[in-house]
Structure 1
Amino acid sequence: MDVQTMLRTAVILLAVTALGGLLMAGMRFSGRPHPPTLITMVHGLLAASGLTLVLYVAFTAGLPGSGWIGLVLLLAAVLGGLVLNLRYHWERLELPIPLILGHAAAAAIGLVVLALAVWTKAG
C-alpha cells in the first residue's frame, strides 16, 4: 500500500471515529453519565487504527505539509480520550463535559488539518 493510500485510509478511519464521538457526546449532553462500553471500545479501536497508520507513515516516509500539526493535535486528543476512559468511564463516573469538549476540539481540528495536508498534497 502506498503512502497516500495509507494516509487517506487513516483519515477515513478517523472520520468514522469522529461520528462515534459525536454519538457519545450526544448521549452525554442528553443527560446520560457515560455511553455504553461497546461504543467507547469501538471508538478507541478505530482511533488507534487510524493513528497507527498515520504514525507509521510519519516515521517511515514523513507527513506532507501541516500533517505533523494534525498528528500532534490527534495525539493530544488521545491523551484526553485516555483520561475520559480510564479515569471516568472505567470508574463509572460522570464524564466531565469540559474534558469531552477539549478532547473533541483537539481531535476535530487535528483531523481537519491532517485531511487538508493529505488531500492537498496529491490533489
Structure 2
Amino acid sequence: MEPFQMLQISTYLFGIAALGGVAMGFVRFTSGANPPSWLAMLHGFLAGAGLTLLAYAAATMNVPAFAYLSLLLFAGGAAGGVFLNLHYHLRQIPLPKWLVIVHAGVNVLAFVLLCFAAFAGA
C-alpha cells in the first residue's frame, strides 16, 4: 500500500471519530451529562484504528514530517481521551469541560497536520 493512501485512510478514520467527538461534546455542553458509553467507545475505537494505521505508516514508510508531528499530537490526545474515559466517564463523574476542550483542540491540530501530510503531498 502507498504511504499517502495509508495516511488518507487514517485521515478518514479520524474524521469519522471526530464526528463522534463533536456529538459527545454537544451532549456534554448542552445537557450537562456525560455522553452515552457506546458513543465514547465507538469514538475511541475509530480513533485508535486511525492512530494504529498512522503509527504503522510512520514506522515502515517514508512519510512527510507533518505526519510524524500529527502522530505525536494524536498520541497525546489519545492519552487524554483514555484519562477522560477511565477517570471520569466510567466513574460517572461529569467530564471537566476544560479538559474536553483541550482534548479536542490537540486532536483538531493533529487532524489538520495529517490532512496536509496526506493530501498536499499526494
Q: Which letter does structure 2 place at the counterpart of 1:107?
A: N
Partner residue of 1:90? 90
Partner residue of 1:43? 43
Q: Displacement of 1:17 after TM fit?
A: 0.5
**Greater Cα offset, 56-65 or 77-86:** 56-65
Give me the identity figure in percent.
36
In 2, Cα distance between the equivalents of 1:63 and 1:33? 40
Q: Which letter does structure 1 place at the counterpart of 2:84?
A: L
Q: Displacement of 1:69 after TM fit?
A: 1.3
Partner residue of 2:5? 5
Secondary structure at 1:99 match in 2: helix
Q: Which letter does structure 2 place at the counterpart of 1:16?
A: I
Unaligned stretches of 5+ residues in structure 2: none
Give the 4+ runs in structure 1 shifted more than 6 A.
Answer: none
In 1, Cα distance between the equivalents of 2:6 and 2:90? 32
Q: Which letter does structure 2 place at the counterpart of 1:54?
A: L
Computed over aligned residues only, the root mean square deviation of the Cα atoms, in angstroms, reads: 1.0
Unaligned stretches of 5+ residues in structure 1: none
User: Which TM-score applies when normalising by structure 2?
Assistant: 0.96
How many aligned positions are there? Answer: 122
